[in-house]
């Protein structure tokens, strides 16, 4: 299963990826005074390479930002919604991951 972090923020740059200790693919929606989309890769502190999609938008509102991130997360099985004030623990991508497998019980 493939996990992506969806991060909503305002007036940030790509350094938010490192500040948040991200170790998986990420979609960042940055509310600012510009409209542009950047795609690329980053290397986390463990040396693992992941993908990022950094969307800068003049649209405002947390719900809009999260909806924009969700609509940009095609191809992922699990979306982890976060904000720019969260710092992820090492190994977060494995925490509770088994619950989403085919053997998960209600």
Calpha distance 68→83 (Å, rounded): 14
- Tens digit of each residue's pLDDT (9 = 90 or more) over 67-98: 999 999 999 989 999 999 999 999 888 876 55
User: Whole-prediction pTM value?
Assistant: 0.86
Nearest to 72 by CA among 100, 41, 37: 37
- Tens digit of each residue's pLDDT (9 = 90 or more) over 6-32: 999 999 999 999 999 999 999 999 999
Instruction: Write the DSSP assignment of 35-95 as a string of letters.
Output: -EEEEEEEE-TTS-EEEEEEEEES---HHHHHHHHHHT-TT-SEEEEEETT--PPTTGGGT
């Amino acid at each position: 299963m493939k996990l992506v972090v969806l991060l909503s923020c305002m007036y940030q740059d790509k350094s938010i990826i490192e500040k948040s200790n991200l170790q998986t693919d990420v979609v960042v929606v940055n509310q600012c005074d510009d409209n542009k989309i950047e795609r690329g890769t980053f290397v986390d502190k463990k040396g693992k390479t992941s993908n990022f999609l950094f969307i800068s938008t003049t649209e405002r509102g947390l719900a809009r930002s999260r909806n924009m991130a969700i609509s940009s997360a095609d191809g992922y099985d699990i979306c982890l919604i976060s904000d720019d004030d969260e710092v992820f623990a090492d190994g977060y991508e494995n925490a509770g991951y088994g619950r989403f497998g085919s053997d998960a019980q209600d």
